[in-house]
Chain A
Amino acid sequence: MTAFTLSKKEKRVLVRIIVSLVLFFAVLITDKTVCLADISPMGFYLPFILYLTVYIIIGYDIVIKAVRNIISLNPLDENFLMLVATVGAFTLAIIRGVKGEKTEGFDEACAVLLFYQVGEFFQRYATGKSRSSISSLMDIRPDYANVLRNGETKEVFPEEVSIGEVIVINPGEKIPLDGVIIRGSTSLDTKALTGETIPYDACEGQKVLSGSINLTSIIEVRVIKEFYDSTVSKILELVENAADKKSRAEGFITRFAAIYTPIVVGLAVALAIIPGIITGFWSVWVYRSLNFLVVSCPCALVISIPLTFFMGIGTLSKNYILVKGSVYLEALNKADTFVFDKTGTITKGEFAVDRIVPESKRDEILRYAAIAERGSSHPIAKAILNESINVDNSYSIENKAGYGVLATKENDTILCGSYSLMKLYNIECEADDSIDTVIYVAKNNRYVGKIYVRDKIKEESKESIDDLKNLGAKAVLLSGDKNEIVKKVAESVGISHYQGELLPKDKATEIENIIKSKKNGGKVCFIGDGINDAPVLMQADIGISMGGIGSDAAIEASDIVLMKDDLSTLPLAKRIAKRTVAIVKENLIFALGIKALILILSAIGIANMWMAVFGDVGVAILCILNALRVGKSK
Chain B
Amino acid sequence: MKKIYRLLNLECANCAAKMERAIKKIDGVNNATVSFMTSRLTIDAEDSRFDEIIEQCQKAIKKFERDCTIVK
B and A form one assembly: yes
List chain A positions with a Cβ less than 8 A from chain B: 65, 68, 72, 74, 77-78, 123-124, 127, 130-131, 134, 240-241, 243-244, 246, 254, 257-258, 297-299, 302-303, 306-307, 309-310
**Residue picked from B33, B37, B42, most chain A C-beta under 10 Å:** B37
The contact of A302 among B13, B42, B66, by CB within 8 Å, is: B13
Which residues from chain A contact B17 at a C-beta distance below 8 Å?
254, 257-258, 302
The contact of A244 among B13, B14, B15, B42, by CB within 8 Å, is: B42
- The distance in angstroms between the C-alpha atoms of A299 and B13, with both chains bound, is 7
In this complex, what residue of B is CB-closest to A135? B38
Contact of A127 with B37 in the complex, beta carbons under 8 Å: yes
Contact of A78 with B35 in the complex, beta carbons under 8 Å: no
- The distance in angstroms between the C-alpha atoms of A241 and B35, with both chains bound, is 9
Contact of A77 with B15 in the complex, beta carbons under 8 Å: yes
- The distance in angstroms between the C-alpha atoms of A164 and B12, with both chains bound, is 45
Interface size class of B (residues with CB under 8 A): 10 to 19
Contact of B13 with A303 in the complex, beta carbons under 8 Å: yes
B50 within 8 A of A: no
A261 to chain B, nearest CB (A): 8
- The distance in angstroms between the C-alpha atoms of A243 and B64, with both chains bound, is 22
**Residue picked from A78, A124, A130, A254, most chain B C-beta under 10 Å:** A254
Contact of B33 with A246 in the complex, beta carbons under 8 Å: yes
Supply 5 A–B pairs (Cβ within 8 Å), ascending by A: A74-B63, A78-B14, A243-B38, A246-B33, A257-B14
Residues from 14 to 72 in B contacting A, C-beta threshold 8 Å:
14-15, 17, 20-21, 33, 35-40, 42, 63-64, 66
With contacts A74-B64, A254-B20 taken as known, whether A310 is within 8 angstroms of B37 at the C-beta atoms is yes
Which residues from chain B contact A244 at a C-beta distance below 8 Å?
33, 35, 38, 40, 42
The contact of B39 among A131, A254, A257, A303, by CB within 8 Å, is: A131
Contact of A243 with B14 in the complex, beta carbons under 8 Å: no
In this complex, what residue of B is CB-closest to A79? B12
Which residues from chain B contact A127 at a C-beta distance below 8 Å?
13, 36-37
Contact of A68 with B66 in the complex, beta carbons under 8 Å: yes
**Contact count A vs B, C-beta below 8 Å:** 56
Which residues from chain B contact A258 at a C-beta distance below 8 Å?
17, 21
Beyond A131-B38, A240-B40, 7 additional contacts (C-beta under 8 Å) are A124-B11, A130-B37, A243-B35, A243-B37, A254-B20, A306-B36, A306-B37
**Residue picked from A130, A131, A302, A310, most chain B C-beta under 10 Å:** A302
Which residues from chain A contact B12 at a C-beta distance below 8 Å?
78
Which residues from chain A contact B13 at a C-beta distance below 8 Å?
123, 127, 299, 302-303, 306
- The distance in angstroms between the C-alpha atoms of A123 and B14, with both chains bound, is 12
Contact of A298 with B14 in the complex, beta carbons under 8 Å: yes
Contact of A240 with B64 in the complex, beta carbons under 8 Å: no
In this complex, what residue of A is CB-closest to B35? A244
- The distance in angstroms between the C-alpha atoms of A587 and B42, with both chains bound, is 27
B58 to chain A, nearest CB (A): 15
Which residues from chain B contact A74 at a C-beta distance below 8 Å?
63-64
A329 to chain B, nearest CB (A): 13
- The distance in angstroms between the C-alpha atoms of A65 and B68, with both chains bound, is 14
In this complex, what residue of B is CB-closest to A310? B37
Contact of A77 with B40 in the complex, beta carbons under 8 Å: no
Contact of A77 with B66 in the complex, beta carbons under 8 Å: no
Contact of B11 with A131 in the complex, beta carbons under 8 Å: no
**Residue picked from A68, A123, A244, most chain B C-beta under 10 Å:** A244
B64 to chain A, nearest CB (A): 7
B45 to chain A, nearest CB (A): 16
Which residues from chain A contact B38 at a C-beta distance below 8 Å?
131, 134, 240, 243-244, 310
In this complex, what residue of A is CB-closest to B9? A9
A325 to chain B, nearest CB (A): 11
- The distance in angstroms between the C-alpha atoms of A565 and B12, with both chains bound, is 40
**Residue picked from B14, B15, B17, B42, most chain A C-beta under 10 Å:** B14
Which residues from chain B contact A306 at a C-beta distance below 8 Å?
13, 35-37
Contact of A297 with B37 in the complex, beta carbons under 8 Å: no
- The distance in angstroms between the C-alpha atoms of A257 and B18, with both chains bound, is 9
Contact of B39 with A297 in the complex, beta carbons under 8 Å: no
Which residues from chain B contact A310 at a C-beta distance below 8 Å?
37-38
- The distance in angstroms between the C-alpha atoms of A254 and B34, with both chains bound, is 11
When A and B form their complex, which 10 residue pairs have the shortest distance between CB atoms, in order from nearest? A310-B37, A303-B13, A302-B13, A244-B35, A243-B38, A254-B17, A243-B37, A302-B14, A244-B33, A306-B37
- The distance in angstroms between the C-alpha atoms of A302 and B39, with both chains bound, is 15
Which residues from chain B contact A297 at a C-beta distance below 8 Å?
14
Which residues from chain A contact B63 at a C-beta distance below 8 Å?
72, 74
The contact of B14 among A77, A130, A241, by CB within 8 Å, is: A77
Which residues from chain B contact A243 at a C-beta distance below 8 Å?
35, 37-38
A478 to chain B, nearest CB (A): 36
- The distance in angstroms between the C-alpha atoms of A77 and B17, with both chains bound, is 12
B7 to chain A, nearest CB (A): 12
The contact of A307 among B11, B37, B40, B42, by CB within 8 Å, is: B37
B19 to chain A, nearest CB (A): 11
Which residues from chain A contact B20 at a C-beta distance below 8 Å?
254
In this complex, what residue of A is CB-closest to B66? A68
- The distance in angstroms between the C-alpha atoms of A214 and B6, with both chains bound, is 32
In this complex, what residue of B is CB-closest to A254? B17
Which residues from chain B contact A246 at a C-beta distance below 8 Å?
33
